[in-house]
Structure 1
Amino acid sequence: MCGCSTHQSQTSKAVDHDPSALALKVEDMACGHCASAITKAIEVGLPGVKVEADLASKSVLVRGAADLSKVKALVTEAGYTPSVA
């Protein structure tokens, strides 16, 4: 979980619905730092994927990844609690 203590609101960027993408909810994504940490964890762990984290809806969309369990494991390793959206 985030320890940056900035927790400022970030403008919402709508996460497009893509039926081929993996969608997660990360309720403990509290700020821009959290969204960046989750994005980086997934992109480093699965090179070539595209990650969109929307702080306002606490959702993460991953395009190009076929393994939901791997994505969830990467988010968990980063210190967050993912669930299927």
Structure 2
Amino acid sequence: MDGFLGGQLPFFILMFVVVYFFMIRPSIQKQKKEKRFAEALSKGDKVITKSGLHAKILDINDDGTVILESGAGKMKFEKSALSMEMSAKLNAPAEKK
């Protein structure tokens, strides 16, 4: 029992701390950012879906869906299908070179 407490227990605690800071915490932070992104969406915003469809938001419903307009017409998507990263790049101001 003394060998476990003296050598292996600190190792397991260190492993948990490493896993938490390198895997669990970043995942939680990303989920919070995506939630803020979904809450900040408004009519007229240009977005890109995770499947790569470029569209403009026509309407936002209370049930977590959005009506998008693209070259293919009007479509209904879940807010979770919108890509935060690609939409941010689309709406970012162009860099001057």
TM-score class normalised by the smaller sequence: under 0.3
Q: Which has the larger radius of gyration?
A: 2
Relative contact order (alpha carbons < 8 A, sep ≥ 6): 1 or 2 greater?
1
Higher helix share: 2
TM-score by length of 1: 0.28
TM-score by length of 2: 0.25
